[in-house]
Amino acid sequence: MKLLLLLLAFCCLSLSRCEEKNVPYDYSATIECLENPNKPQYNGGIIVNPDLQNGSQGWSQMGNTKVDFTEFGGNKFVIARGRNQSYDSVSQKVYLEKGLLYTFSAWLQVSQGNSPVRAVFKKNGEYKHAGSVIAESKCWSMLKGGLTVDESGPADLYFESEDTTAEIWVDSVSLQPFTQKEWNSHHKQSINITRKGAVRIRAVNSAGEPVPNATISIVQNRLGFPFGCSAGSNILGNQAFQDWFTKRFTVTAFENEMKWYSTEVVRGKEDYSTADAMVRLFKQHGIAIRGHHIILDDPKYQLSWVTALNGPDLYKAVKRRVDSVVSRYKGQLASWDVVNENLHFSFFENKMGPKASYNVFEQAHAVDPTTTMFMNEFNTLEQPGDGVSSPAKYLQKLRELQSIRAPGNIPLGIGLESHFFSTPNIPYMRSALDTLGATGLPIWLTEVDVAAPPNVQANYFEQVLREGHAHPKVTGMVTWSGYNPKGCFRMCLTDGNFRNLPTGDVVDKLLREWGGLRGKTTGLTDADGYFEASLFHGDYDLSIAHPLTNSTASHSFKLTSDDYHPSPTVVRIGLIWEAYLHPAVEGITHTDKDFNDTETGDVIDKLLKAWTKKLQRRDVSLLHRHYDVNVINKSSTIYKELVYGPHSYT
């Protein structure tokens, strides 16, 4: 008996929660200012009277302020008036437990203009910042954040704003605790939906009868989720480093080699030789490259000749830099970090005016219109107390960039450096991603590392990577930890002999979980000839064999998350393959599984010629070819030839 037919069914995997009692996580966030606030998430969680329907119950004043419980348009809320100190506001006592992860949200408004408002938990004389938002007058803004505590005990929740002339209005407050087990279950649920799909394979013989106990082997060749590491020039000519790196990663960013201070040390004398060599190396290995960066706004890292320029001379130098680096690598990079760390620093704005970064984005887009242009900033995820780069501040700058009137919309991306210090605030990280994810723009963690004592560094690093990978709005991650003989930035993954350090072991552990490092899935078909597996998105090789007949067949496919549709579609190409295929499987023509009547024309002729040529070369990779083939009449000669002949392939 020969294996002449394979059936693959691809569909998104839908798994129920492990335990019904687990509280599911609400990834939603609202970034528009609304006339009325939404209802509190999780019905308020442990907050008493979260929607202020019961007046002052559970609430009191913080500091020397007048607190009014009022109603407008059927909506009840509380107002803190007559504020003299930043912390003068409304407060509620809560009990926080060590080991729990808290997600917080509230809807806020100010009486005039717009002002940043923070949510703070005061506990044992310490102040835990849970998040902030730029509150506006005449509409309600959602603040979303989170926190953990080092020890259990009572705490005072309150809101603060440096603008003491503004009243703070509060409504729809929520504080939801999760156990670590629940938090992990959210990861699993999200991964099953956004990172994985189910593959269904069926083996049948020439008579269409199922073949049980056929051996199935599926090997992942490439991760679908972009995951990478920074690299420096020391990778050039270092085969051991290259072997270690290319085995693991699908994307990189150059640590310094593409930066202005590396390519034009002397004004007018550009040298891209090192960057060019690195681009060639990584392209050779199919590793995508993030363009890091066009310019940096930090005055500390400006070349002395750049610092000395002013006015038109500086403008010309910046324009020349943008044109030079972007045109050189146009169309070769996955993305550009355009004006790096533009929220914390303002070197070019101070010298060239408030629209300096605006102009650089516009110019870069004009040179390379199809590549995504990223903001790239630190502390947006890492430090809830850093108001300069809060999600709200990030969104404010992003809206400025979205207002640029350029030919075609500028494809923008959200870059989050993710340089964590000590214990990561994972609930805040998730909430910040929720808020930024509401934009619908691609989000990358671009420079992930953790500055922490060696005994906890790897654990914290793993927490951050897991949270980023599991979040449905994150589309890629790069760690800032490539080996450098002069010392890594904050952490290395390997030693000088490219043996893993504990942080490198974390990377390998996660890659294996995600199907990387050529992860292999094997099994046998059941009595009906079926084999099913849940796989991470990526590129795969599939082989099927039967020990009694020595028959084998193989196929390569790509499993992605694009264009999900629950109903599989069918392509029939000879008696060799029959495929039920998820529309997200790239390279597969979509047809009606019932083969209803339609016109075929020249397209079918092209398909038959290509199919026959492939079979003559004993190659069944025809399924990778893109043909706009619709369904055909079952009684037609073309249909019979397409399905049943020729039979020269064995």
pLDDT at 625: 29
For the annotated catalytic residues, the residue numbers are 341, 447
**524 pLDDT higher than 50:** yes
Rounded mean pLDDT of 535-551? 88
Is the pLDDT at 393 greater than 80? The verdict is: yes
Q: CA-CA distance, 180 to 369, in Å (whole number)?
A: 44
- Residues 427 and 147: their CA atoms lie apart, in Å, by 6
Q: Which residue has the higher pLDDT, 564 or 199?
A: 199
Q: Is the pLDDT of residue 47 over 90?
A: yes
pLDDT, residue 571, reads 25
Q: Which residues contact 596 (CB under 8 A, 6 or more apart)?
A: 631
Which pLDDT value is given to residue 574? 25
Residue 570 has pLDDT above 70, yes or no: no
229 within 8 A of 252, measured Cβ to Cβ:
yes
Q: Give pTM, 2 decimals.
A: 0.85
> Do residues 373 and 398 touch, judged by C-beta distance below 8 A?
no
Residue 499 pLDDT level (bands cut at 50, 70, 90)? very high
User: pLDDT class for 19, splitting at 50, 70, 90?
Assistant: very low
What is the DSSP annotation of 107-164? EEEESSSEEEEEEEEEETTEEEEEEEEEEESSSBEEEEEEE--SS-EEEEEEEE-S-T
Candidates 406, 405, 383; CA nearest to 394 is: 383
Residues 6+ apart with CB under 8 A from 205: 1, 2, 3, 4, 5, 211
Q: Would you say 15 and 189 are in contact if contact means Cβ atoms under 8 Å apart? A: yes
Q: Measured between alpha carbons, how far is residue 263 from residues 272, 315, 561 in Å?
A: 6, 18, 39
Angle between helices 454-470 and 180-194 (to 10 degrees): 50
pLDDT, position 205? 82
Tens digits of residue pLDDT in 255-281: 999 999 999 999 999 999 999 999 999
In a 3-state reduction of DSSP, which class is residue 390?
A: coil
pLDDT at 28 over 90: yes
DSSP state of 272: -
Q: Is 456:472 a contact under the CB 8 Å cutoff?
A: no
Examine residue 646 and say whether the peptide bond preceding it is cis (omega within 30 degrees of 0): yes
Per DSSP, the three-state class of 478 is strand
- Beta 101-110 vs 168-178: how paired, if at all? antiparallel
Residues 157/120, Cβ–Cβ less than 8 Å: yes
Q: What would the mean pLDDT of 415-435 be, rounded to a whole number? A: 97
pLDDT at 554 (0 to 100): 85
Q: What pLDDT shows up at residue 91?
A: 98
- Least confident span in 455-459, 533-537, 627-631: 627-631
The arithmetic mean of pLDDT across residues 151-161, rounded, is 98
Q: Has residue 609 got a pLDDT over 70? A: no
Determine the number of helices (DSSP H) and then strands (DSSP E) in the chain.
14, 28
Mean local confidence (pLDDT), 205-209? 82
Helix (H, G, I), strand (E, B) or coil at 336: strand
pLDDT exceeds 70 at position 20: no
Task: For residue 152, count other CB atoms closer than 10 A to its CB.
Answer: 13
pLDDT-based confidence at 627, cuts 50/70/90? Answer: very low
pLDDT at 546: 85
Omega of the bond leading into 293 within 30 degrees of 0 (cis): yes
pLDDT the model gives residue 550: 75
**Percent share of the chain, pLDDT over 90:** 77
**Of 420-424, 427-431, 622-626, where does the model show the most confidence?**
427-431
Q: How does DSSP assign 579-595, residue by residue?
A: EEE-TTSTT-----TT-
At residue 551, the pLDDT reads: 77
Per-residue pLDDT of 431-490, as tens digits, reads 999 999 999 999 999 999 999 999 999 999 999 999 999 999 999 999 999 999 999 999
HSE value, Cβ hemisphere, 13 Å, CA-based, for 568? 19
Per-residue model confidence (pLDDT) at position 239 = 98
How far apart CA 345 and CA 638 sit, in angstroms, is: 66
pLDDT tops 70 at residue 412: yes
Judged by average pLDDT, the poorest of 34-48, 64-78, 299-313, 583-597 is 583-597
Integer CA distances (angstroms), 152 to 94, 127, 128, 422, 515, in order: 11, 14, 14, 20, 39
pLDDT value for 95: 98
